[in-house]
Structure formats: C-alpha cells, structure tokens
A and B are shown apart, each in its own frame.
Chain A
Amino acid sequence: MELNDKTLKSLAASLNMRQMRQEIIASNVANSETPDYKSKRLDFEEALARAIDLDKSQAMKTSDEKHYNVGGGGFKSLSPQVYEDPNGDIGVDGNTVDRDKEMAKMAENKILFDASIQLFNKKMGLLKYILNSEK
C-alpha cells in the first residue's frame, strides 16, 4: 500500500473542500439579512471526481513536467468553483439567501466531513497496524 495513495489524497482534498464550503455557508448565514447580498455556492464534486479519475478515462499523456495535468489523478490543480447562486429568490431588500436551505446544506456538509474524517482515521489505523505487525 502506497503511503500517499489516491484514497488519502482524495480524502484530504475533500476535507479541504468541505472546510471551504463551510466558510461560504457561514458567510451566507451571516449575511442572510444584508440588503443586496447574493447567496454564494461552492462546488467541488466535479473537480474532485476528475482529479480522482477512477477509470483513467480522462488521462492524457504528459512527457514534460510543464505539461498541464489533464485528468488521471491531478490533485495539485484541484480548485473549487465559487459562484453566486443563480436560482436564489430575490427578496424585497435584494437579498437571495434562504437561511433554512443554508442550514440544511451546512448539516449535510458536516455529516460528510465527519464521514471523511472517519475514513481517513480508518486508513491511518490500517497503516499503523501494518507498521506494528512485525512485533
């Protein structure tokens, strides 16, 4: 088992992304009554799926380190998309935040974050077991 394989990298990436998402959601909840504030969203699922590229379907051959890493597990260039939610309902004061939706998103994000932490810990536990198994 590689010490820094795709599982660990993708879990670490998802932890990072979920923390960023939490920041955006906190920003939305804090500004849920600010006039003219537009609700923001952070998407990373697609970018992460491309980076993981489980079936190597998107890999392109690179022969030089300066070549762009297109598909095939490029975690270095993983960046989320932050944009204004186009589906927000504009309130009387120009605000588009639906606070209940944001709270629901936050709960979902937290649960999946906890799940990623647990998976990460299990993987670490496995490595520790292997390292200790010589005794």
Chain B
Amino acid sequence: MDVLTSMKISSSALSANKKRLGAISSNIANAQTTQTQEGGPYRRKVVVFESRPVQENFSETLENEINRKSESVRVKDVVSLNEPPHLKYEPSHPHANKDGYVAYPKVNVMTEMADLISAQRSYEANISAFKTSKSMALKSLEIGK
C-alpha cells in the first residue's frame, strides 16, 4: 500500500463524479425534451457507482492477489430510467398524441439540482483527499534535507 495508490483511488472518484455530473447536466438540459431520436420523450439518466479492489500491476492481477483492502470507484453503467412519462394536456403542441396529451420527461429539476450539489461536494472531498496524499508523498521526499 502506498500513497500513489491513494492518488489513483481519489482520481477514480473524480472521474466517476464527472460522469455523474454529465448525466445530471443531460437531465437538466433535456427536462422539456418531448421527442428524442429513439422516439418518445427524453428518459432520465442515472449513473450506477461500483467499487472495485485496486490492482496495482499486471502480476498482481495474474496471480489474483487481491490482498489490498482499499477500493477504487467507477461508473458501472449509465442507465436510462424507464419511468412512465409525465402527460400534459396541450392539444396545440406538435408532439401531442390523439387525445391532445404531450409526454414530458419525468425529470424533476429540483432533484437534479440537489444531486448536482451532492456531486460537487463529493468532487471537492476527493480533491482534498488527493491533495493530502500528494502532500504526504512530497513531505516524505524532504526527509533528511
């Protein structure tokens, strides 16, 4: 276990949170999108996080030596949720169905904003962890100077 692995772990979290931010931005941008390329209204995207034991080099993977207890994180999947759309009565809308209802995406902008703030806090915390690891590594180089 060393401090460079800590930096890898923190940076994996930074990437994961960036992807999460991408999904949130996509949701907010498309909150009113009634028609997509696949047909139907926009479907809300959600990221699924997964933890993975850190494997430093190939020989460790080869011998299946997972004795490190620390785990990095990654985005396992970006899922488009299959929730029933929110129907609004707008007969004059070009995308209205035969009953005059338009299908809007089931995206609650408030929920997305809360998730956005959560992602930002998580990102900041991991930056802080990264800085601490880096500082520890640099300080060790100063021994005996």
Residue A124 at the chain B interface, CB threshold 8 Å = yes
Interface of chain A residues 56 through 92 with chain B (CB within 8 A) = 82
Alpha-carbon gap, A22 to B142, bound state (A) = 19
Interface of A, secondary structure class, is helix
Q: How large is the interface on A (under 10, 10 to 19, 20 to 34, 35 or more residues)?
A: 20 to 34
Q: Is the CB of B9 within 8 A of A23?
A: yes
Contact pick for A22, options B48, B72, B132, CB 8 Å = B132
Binary CB contact string for chain B from 13 to 31 against chain A (1 if under 8 A, 0 otherwise): 1001000000000000000
Nearest to B54 among chain A residues (CB) is A27
Alpha-carbon gap, A32 to B16, bound state (A) = 12
Residue A43 at the chain B interface, CB threshold 8 Å = no
Interface of B, secondary structure class, is helix
**Which residues in A have some Cβ–Cβ distance to B below 8 Å?**
15, 18-20, 22-27, 29-35, 37, 40, 42, 82, 99, 103, 106-107, 110, 113-114, 117, 120-121, 124
Given contacts A15-B140, A19-B1, A27-B71, 13 further A-B contacts (CB under 8 A): A19-B6, A20-B1, A26-B7, A26-B129, A26-B130, A26-B133, A30-B126, A35-B48, A114-B139, A117-B143, A120-B143, A121-B142, A124-B143
**Which residues in B have some Cβ–Cβ distance to A below 8 Å?**
1-3, 5-7, 9-10, 12-13, 16, 48-51, 54, 69-73, 118, 121-122, 125-126, 128-130, 132-133, 135-136, 139-140, 142-145
